[in-house]
Amino acid sequence: MIEIYLDVGDLADTRFGMSPLQETVLSLRAARSPGRHALHLPWTRSARPVLDGLHDGLLLSLVGPHNWIPDFLTPRPSGLLTDIGPELEQIRRTPPAVVAADIATAHWGAVPERLRGDPERVRDRIADLLEEYWRRAMAPHWPRMRSLLEADTVHRARSLALGGARALFADLHTNVEWRDGILRVVAGRAIHNHVHVSGQGLLLVPSVFAHKAMGPIAEDAPPMVIYPARGVATLWETASPRPPGAVAALIGAPKAAILMELDGPASTTELAHRLAVTPGAVSQHLRVLADAGLVTRARSGRAVLYARSPLADRLIAP
């Protein structure tokens, strides 16, 4: 159990983050145990050969016996990051003593042979392999993942604005509970942390590869909760639903298909990928739909996300 104590000021300073490094590191769990992460099997089939070809299992050995991962590999992001480069450099600057301690903690002291030796050399080797793994297994899919993560932050921000902290935390995951100023994250019987935010700001980080909400292993780590992003079950789908005939006849099949895809906020790039068309074509249709009051726009960092308006929901309702 992780208990995070927040006062009124801490709640006001709660914000969202996004991290390509965290997605890369957490994906190792899915690659190592695909049966436990069946939603990601379409990705795993292409990623596992990449991992097998990189090294003698060093990256997969990072995942501990209780699915723990060394904290230094998942540093708290400074915001909605989209470039993994600075995060990898942060890993390379981790003090060797911290590297050794975090690896030992994640593995309950039984450190695998591949992770033993000079901590500085192990750290640099891990960073180099993660960089290559990112380039070959993660970067091609990052635009889709980023769009889903950005859509989640827009949804959560709306929940916070409309229902306050209670509405925000109630929807993160079933293993999260908010009561009497304490955010409780059930993280397994082996973790008993009491975290006082104390002006540091709580960071909420949506994740494609997290199967439940979690936080850092170390009690003195900056307060952060990683939680499963909404819509992960649809991430690897490529087929689009057939638009209803009446709506397609009214506004055209391409625009109707876009409305059907907007069950949650999505970017132009993500919609183009799902519909197998060019971003330019999607952008033109979205402009028309926005002018007609059928879609709304919201900015998340540098991305613009689109969502169906209430009018569009009524239009496509069965």
Domain 238-316, second-level architecture? Orthogonal Bundle (1.10)
Tell me the Ramachandran region of residue 265: left when phi exceeds 0, alpha when psi lies from -120 to 50, beta otherwise: beta
**pLDDT in the model for residue 318:** 66
pLDDT at 302: 67
pTM to 2 decimal places: 0.74
The model's pLDDT over 241-300, given as tens digits with 9 standing for 90+, comes to 556 678 888 888 889 889 888 877 788 888 887 788 888 899 999 999 999 999 988 776
Residue 161: exposure state from Cβ atoms within 10 A (0-12, 13-18, ≥19): exposed
Sheet holding 15-16, edge to edge: 15-16, 203-207, 224-228
Q: Which stretches in the chain have pLDDT values below 70?
A: 188-192, 237-244, 300-302, 318
Rounded to 5°, angle at Cα 123 from 121 and 128: 95
At 95 the pLDDT is 96
Q: Where are the domains of the chain?
A: 2-16+158-232, 20-143, 238-316
CA distance 164 to 227: 18
Identify the pLDDT of residue 306: 86
